[in-house]
């Protein structure tokens, strides 16, 4: 679903950059003689990388920020000088978003609420008609000014900056999302059906690491911590 949402983030961003949708009236790729839009992507994981691919494909000027230098190194090898990679700090985020036409937020801190990396003060100083797509909204959002929206009414304005914060972006492209989800989950479903849940989880570390609750116990450490409940290792319940 992160692949879907990352790709959609640029599609949605391009639409809301259009004047009649409240945007600056920019074509992402520009035209010969007119500069392209500056797309800033915060978080270079699955969402960020897929957004990056789409933005580069449309001819945008792209800056991507992450806290993982290894991740930035990988992207630098793949995309070369078609993108700028920037180590994520409070200062580098501020500099990038103040110059951005479109900002995509795709950070994740596993098991925790997303950190508020773009502040209300940044938004008040951004270009009017810039667009912000907070893909991380399902984890609370990584912009201070974000609140969750739906496909029925996906955007709102803060200081003239368009915010798109749909918590279930893949729902808009349900056909693509359904096939993608099937492709990713069918193997796990077959293992569960063939072996039964307990043996399947015991034998498969990926299934096991996805287990959140088992026999009334919280088996995912970060979730237990976030909820103030005792953590019980899945291994002890599957033995």
Ligand X SMILES: NC(=O)c1ccc[n+]([C@@H]2O[C@H](COP(=O)([O-])OP(=O)(O)OC[C@H]3O[C@@H](n4cnc5c(N)ncnc54)[C@H](O)[C@@H]3O)[C@@H](O)[C@H]2O)c1
**What is the number of other CB atoms lying within 10 angstroms of the CB of residue 87?**
11
Nearer to ligand X, 196 or 210 (CB): 210
**What is the number of other CB atoms lying within 10 angstroms of the CB of residue 115?**
15
Q: Count residues binding ligand X (CB under 6 A).
A: 33
Residue 223 in 3-state DSSP? helix
Nearer to ligand X, 73 or 198 (CB): 73
| 112-131 footprint of ligand X as x/- string (CB under 6 A) | --xx-x--------------
Q: How far is the CB of 47 from ligand X (least distance, A)?
A: 3
Q: Say which residues have a Cβ less than 8 Å from residue 81's Cβ, sequence separation at least 6.
A: none
- The residue within the footprint of ligand X, chosen from 107, 201, 234, 238 (CB under 6 A), is 107
DSSP code for 52: H
Q: Is 188 in the site for ligand X (CB under 6 A)?
A: no
Nearer to ligand X, 54 or 107 (CB): 107
| Contact (CB, 8 A) for 52 and 65 | no
Q: Is 100 in the site for ligand X (CB under 6 A)?
A: no
Q: Is 76 in the site for ligand X (CB under 6 A)?
A: no
* Binding residues for ligand X restricted to 137-156, rule: CB under 6 A: 137-139
| Contact (CB, 8 A) for 68 and 98 | no
Q: Identify which range of 13-21, 40-48, 121-129, 200-208 contacts ligand X by CB under 6 A.
A: 40-48
Rounded Cα gap, residues 51 and 28, in angstroms: 13
**The residue to which tokens 């709102």 are assigned:** 156
- The residue within the footprint of ligand X, chosen from 21, 27, 71, 144 (CB under 6 A), is 71
| Contact (CB, 8 A) for 106 and 132 | no
Q: Is 222 in the site for ligand X (CB under 6 A)?
A: no
Rounded Cα gap, residues 205 and 216, in angstroms: 20
Phi/psi for 163 (5° steps) reads -110, 125
Nearer to ligand X, 36 or 43 (CB): 43
Residues of this chain that interact with ligand X (CB under 6 A) are 1-2, 5, 42-48, 65-68, 71, 88, 106-109, 114-115, 117, 135-139, 166-170
């Amino acid at each position: 679903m992160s692949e879907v949402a990352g790709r959609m983030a640029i599609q949605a961003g391009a639409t809301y950059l259009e004047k009649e949708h409240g945007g600056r009236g920019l074509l992402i790729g520009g035209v010969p003689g007119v500069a392209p839009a500056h797309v800033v992507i915060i978080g270079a994981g699955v969402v960020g990388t897929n957004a990056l691919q789409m933005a580069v494909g449309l001819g945008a000027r792209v800056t991507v920020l992450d806290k993982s230098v290894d991740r930035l190194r990988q992207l630098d090898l793949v995309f070369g000088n078609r993108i700028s990679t920037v180590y994520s700090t409070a200062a580098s985020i501020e500099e990038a978003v103040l110059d951005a036409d479109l900002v995509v937020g795709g950070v994740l801190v596993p098991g925790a609420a997303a950190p508020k990396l773009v502040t209300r003060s940044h938004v008040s100083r951004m270009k009017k008609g810039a667009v912000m797509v907070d893909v991380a909204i399902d984890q609370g959002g990584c912009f201070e000014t974000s609140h969750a929206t739906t496909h029925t009414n996906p955007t709102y304005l803060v200081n003239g900056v368009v915010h798109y914060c749909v918590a279930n972006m893949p729902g808009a492209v349900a056909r693509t999302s359904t096939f993608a989800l099937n492709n990713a989950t069918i193997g796990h479903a077959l293992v569960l059906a063939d072996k039964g849940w307990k043996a399947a989880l015991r034998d498969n570390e990926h299934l096991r690491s996805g287990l959140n609750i088992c026999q009334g116990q919280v088996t995912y450490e970060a979730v237990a911590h976030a909820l103030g409940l005792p953590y019980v290792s899945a291994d002890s319940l599957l033995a």
